[in-house]
Structure 1
Amino acid sequence: MAKKDKHKKKMKKSTKIVLISITAVLVFVLVFGSVGLYKLYSDTLGGIKKDTISKDEVNKSIDQDVKDKYDDSIINIALLGVDRRANDTGRSDATMFVTIDKKHNKLKLTSIMRDSYVSIDGHGMDKLNHAFAFGKGELSIKTMNQNFGLNIKDYVVVDFGELANIIDAIGGVDINVKQSEFTETNKYIQDVAGELHKTASSLSAPGMQHLNGIQAVGYCRIRYNDNDFARTDRQRDVLVAMFNKMKSTSPTELPGVIKKISPYLETTIGATDLLSLGTGVLKSGIGNIQQQIFPIEGLDNCKGGLIKGTFYFTYDKDALKKRIQNYIFEDAAAK
């Protein structure tokens, strides 16, 4: 049991905060799409690297029944986190997708566990994040579509090794640091500062305070003083703080923020389409991000365990596929 728990908790520090950094990127794309300074923002997006994939191959990976049953009112875009600080771009440290649901007027951010045991085209059964190692973003999209019944056609890759810089670019975040989190937060603040070869100020007391990038990353990395649920709550606290900060940024300040964040991105989506997506979402009045993680332990026979010495999350493939499709396309409860 102890060995199983150890594998369940094993996760790179950067992975534990990738949800936040990816969401920050998503938010700025959606927010600036609402303003009329099209030429200004279009120029600012020039720092984002444009990737090219085979649209025909990706389209083939989408189930025909998905094409027949669901239209473009529900758009799914893959979000892949890569930590380039470690010079390890061979695998995605996290695999997520954002759902722009114009049918039910919702915005969803869904994470799929990177240790999920999936079928990867041409490579047999393996971990989900290995798809990126075998075929970069294109194979990641195909693997998600084929295993989970999705209709993903594009992706965004984020260099979340620079999360502290991203948070600093938006001006920091306001977080309520609890007494039980205070000591560990300061410990991790100094750890992050050391990794970045910078100095950082520790927090003087618990409570509501404004955190800079290094401090916020330290807060997100707390691991041992409570449980998985509390760690998830902290990630969500920072995510919501970043979301609110981006929404409150004035149109005149946004170009500068976007310019700072853009070098950490690459995507298959053109600037025009990004702007169009942002405009459409904001016109619909969607204001909050709904979050979910799959597979869900305890449901669909999901469990973590070793297969030939390697840890995976296994599950009932058909049951999980149906659950994800119902949640994404029908807006049903995840559990």
Structure 2
Amino acid sequence: MASRSEKKKLSKRRRWLYWVGGILLALIVAGIGYGVYVYNQLDNAVDAMHQPLERDTERQKEMEGIFNDKDSFNMLLLGVDERATDAGRSDTMIFMSLNPKTESMIMMSIPRDSYVNIPERGMDKLNHSYAYGGVDLTLTTVEQLLDVPIHYYAKVNMEGFVQGVDALGGVTVNNSFAFDQDGESFAEGQIHLTGEQALKYTRMRKQDPRGDFGRNDRQRQVIEAAMGEAASFSSVTKVGEIFDILGGNVQTNLTMDNFQSMFSNYRQTRNNVNTIQVEGSGSTIGGVWYYEVPDEEWSRIKTEIKDHMNAS
């Protein structure tokens, strides 16, 4: 089992991934609307982030058809901690599905310790798929797990959380009850958070009667607030600063054309975000702790995702 200090580090990494996901989505749906200067800044950021996969070549027609036909598409956000002497593991995985026809989005955090079948490796922790085969194997594993295609990915390095929030000018959220966390007091009602405060706000779990579900709600609040802030930017300087943060910390197979299509046809999905919770329990198998999710729970999740994708 992880120590308390390890859990705190993991919690911080997860918060950064949620923030980058929110900022990335905000730029997808809003960032192109600021004229030639910002368009060029976004073009430079996307060029720095762009990291295509071998499998993209085989799926090129399918991926192009998605945007041409304005179909649903799925994306996986990966929070990765890599070191020079270690291939790394994905600390956090967030599945997203965007449907422009219903102007809605699904967002689901997949537990990294989920006990799943990794192709050609057998049953293991989900996050080990990254250590075994990088982004490609991770996407293949999640596709098999959820029985839906993963069209795009964004891999996030775990740095820059506070800078990203502060570059947005902070965020405003509606706090359901007052609490203290890490020396900071959060009042009930509408509050404005700096980067440091937002990190603490999303970290709280033990004082919430809903536990992880309550914390997930606060994370979702932060993502939606980040989208709203980015969509209402009036300062091209701040937009450029955020592009720099993204360019240095994110890799994705999204292209500039993809961003343009998203701005035209998918930007309204950010206004209707539905969160899926993965229900399971911890167990020890062969002396190793795993998060086991019943087959019927995976079946429920698959049905919900497919219904969302096919809705019109």
TM-score w.r.t. length of structure 1: 0.74
Number of residue-to-residue matches in the alignment: 293
**Identity percentage over the alignment?**
29
Q: Do 1:44 and 1:255's aligned partners in 2 also have CA atoms closer than 8 Å?
A: no
Q: 1:27 aligns to what?
A: 26
Matched to 2:213, the amino acid is F
1:326 aligns with 2:311: no
Matched to 1:241, the amino acid is A
Corresponding residue to 1:216 among 195, 198, 202 = 198
Q: Secondary structure at the match of 1:168?
A: helix
After superposition, give the CA deviation of every residue in 1:112-144 in whole Å (9 maximum; x if it has no partner).
111111111121111111111111111111001
Unaligned 5+ runs, structure 2: 63-68
1:265 aligns with 2:263: no
The separation in 1 between residues aligned to 2:53 and 2:152, in whole angstroms, is 9
1:250 aligns with 2:234: yes
Name which of structure 1's ranges 93-102 and 18-27 shifts more when overlaid on structure 2. 18-27
- CA gap 1:111/1:232 in 2 versus in 1, 3 angstroms: closer
Please state how far the C-alpha of 1:206 moved relative to its aligned partner.
7.1
Q: 2:127 aligns to what?
A: 129
The separation in 1 between residues aligned to 2:58 and 2:219, in whole angstroms, is 32
Unaligned 5+ runs, structure 1: 63-70, 187-201
Equivalence map 1:17-96=2 (5 Å): 17=15, 18-34=17-33, 37=36, 39-46=39-46, 48-55=48-55, 73-83=71-81, 90-96=88-94
Matched to 1:31, the amino acid is A
The separation in 2 between residues aligned to 1:261 and 1:140, in whole angstroms, is 22
The separation in 2 between residues aligned to 1:204 and 1:151, in whole angstroms, is 40
Please state how far the C-alpha of 1:264 moved relative to its aligned partner.
1.1
The separation in 1 between residues aligned to 2:252 and 2:32, in whole angstroms, is 17
Q: Indicate the structure with greater strand content.
A: 2
Q: CA RMSD in A?
A: 3.4
- CA gap 1:26/1:56 in 2 versus in 1, 3 angstroms: closer
Corresponding residue to 1:155 among 153, 156, 165 = 153
Q: Secondary structure at the match of 1:91?
A: strand
The separation in 1 between residues aligned to 2:229 and 2:41, in whole angstroms, is 18
Matched to 2:227, the amino acid is F
The separation in 1 between residues aligned to 2:214 and 2:275, in whole angstroms, is 15
Corresponding residue to 2:166 among 161, 165, 168 = 168
1:286 aligns with 2:269: yes
- CA gap 1:147/1:19 in 2 versus in 1, 3 angstroms: same
The separation in 2 between residues aligned to 1:147 and 1:214, in whole angstroms, is 35
